Amino acid sequence: MSDEQQAEAEQVDEEVESGIQDGDFVRLAYTVRTVEDGDVVDTTSEEVAEEAEIDVEGYEFEPRVVIVGAGHVFPEVDDALTGAEVGDEGEVDIPAADAFGEYDEDEVRTVSANKIDEDDRYPGAQVTIDGEQGRLETIIGGRARVNFNHPLAGKDLEYEYEVLDLVDDREEQASGLLGMYLQQAPEVWVQTDEVEEEQVVESDDEEDEDAEPETETVTVEKDTLYIEATPQMTMNQQWMFSKQQIAQDIMQRLDIDRVIVQETIEGGMGGMGGLGGMMGGAGGADIEEAIEDVDIDADELAAELDDADEE
């Protein structure tokens, strides 16, 4: 390599290193369409979704936080983002093989109709057969034709994006990761807690290998991510089955020592009306009035209680 070529190569390396790199958190606005038909597959824009006549009710349209190089986007998009700057826009073509795979005729199979719930026995229904998800194409008699290809299999995609900003705040990073995993972003905050823990004390007696290790209680500081769980989050299947892995990923990427998930249940005494009434003063009612309501003589009851005490 000549000196001129070496200088050009070094200049290119410097330019790449000066932009976004693997591991960086970036906030993206994007829209994904099929190349052939221009159908909108995914978007962060509510306006784009409405124009495509996509049902937007109950769905939050906002830019997404992703980690470059972590597999959160297609590899071709990761490549485009590496070295980019905030404010950059672009379009990336994603071939079907790198998107949702090529269409496979062998993945269209005939199965017994008995494996399909009666309510789902119509063309177009999404069904699960032996753990595989597919789309029912036809059903004749006791046989059903099910397409197990991904709905976007065989389709090339166009990924249009804009880099809005770099995300350095750990709370925003955590919220973005949870939003990606769970399709919702619960309230989060990071704080440093003082925690007592047991630590092994190094022994001066190196000869006694069978001696029990000595420990002492010490106070250490731990960076803690608190997550305020919502009912939707606690019922989210992704969270229910993968919360340990999600928490580990967050701790590793954000340099967090631990994750604490807390759930707040609010409500007044209105829901305790029956119990409060039985407890007299707790429900705001007088005990004698409550006894009269159930047709029991208060004086007679008091006398019976006195007799019981004397015995």
Domain of 124, CATH number, reads 2.40.10.330
Helices (H), the chain: 3-18, 46-51, 75-81, 170-182, 231-234, 237-254, 273-278, 287-293, 298-310
Based on the fold, state whether residues 180 and 243 are members of the same structural domain: yes
d(CA 5, CA 2): 5
Based on the fold, state whether residues 52 and 24 are members of the same structural domain: yes
**Do the domain assignments include residue 42?**
yes
Query: Is it the case that residue 122 has pLDDT exceeding 50?
Result: yes
How many residues in the chain? 311
Render pLDDT for 173-216 as a digit per residue (tens, 0 to 9).
Answer: 999 888 888 887 889 999 999 888 888 887 666 666 666 778 88
Based on the fold, state whether residues 121 and 78 are members of the same structural domain: no
d(CA 150, CA 67): 25
**Do the domain assignments include residue 226?**
yes
What pTM value is reported for the model?
Answer: 0.68
**Do the domain assignments include residue 56?**
yes
**Do the domain assignments include residue 7?**
no
Mean pLDDT computed over every residue of the chain: 82
Torsion sign across C-alpha atoms 185, 190, 193, 197? positive
Average pLDDT over residues 160-181: 92
- Placement of tokens 């928490």 in the chain: 247
Range of the domain at 82: 18-99+155-166
**Do the domain assignments include residue 135?**
yes
98 DSSP assignment? G
Based on the fold, state whether residues 177 and 246 are members of the same structural domain: yes
Based on the fold, state whether residues 95 and 177 are members of the same structural domain: no
Based on the fold, state whether residues 60 and 90 are members of the same structural domain: yes
Average pLDDT over residues 67-91: 94
Q: What is the largest CA-CA distance in the chain?
A: 112
Split into its structural domains, the chain has a count of 3
**Do the domain assignments include residue 253?**
yes
Based on the fold, state whether residues 72 and 174 are members of the same structural domain: no
pLDDT for res 293: 47
- Predicted confidence band of residue 10 (pLDDT cuts 50, 70, 90): low
Residue 78 carries which side chain, given as an amino acid letter? D
**Do the domain assignments include residue 124?**
yes
d(CA 111, CA 148): 11
Average pLDDT over residues 220-224: 91
Based on the fold, state whether residues 124 and 56 are members of the same structural domain: no
Which residues, listed in sequence order, are joined to residue 147 by a DSSP beta bridge?
A: 108, 135
Based on the fold, state whether residues 22 and 162 are members of the same structural domain: yes
Based on the fold, state whether residues 45 and 161 are members of the same structural domain: yes
**Do the domain assignments include residue 294?**
no
CATH number (domain holding residue 182): 3.30.70
Residues 6+ apart with CB under 8 A from 69: 21, 22, 23, 78, 82
Query: Is it the case that residue 8 has pLDDT exceeding 70?
Result: no
- Predicted confidence band of residue 284 (pLDDT cuts 50, 70, 90): very low
Render pLDDT for 287-301 as a digit per residue (tens, 0 to 9).
Answer: 444 434 444 455 554
Query: Is it the case that residue 111 has pLDDT exceeding 90?
Result: yes
Based on the fold, state whether residues 24 and 160 are members of the same structural domain: yes
Based on the fold, state whether residues 123 and 27 are members of the same structural domain: no
CATH number (domain holding residue 32): 3.10.50.40
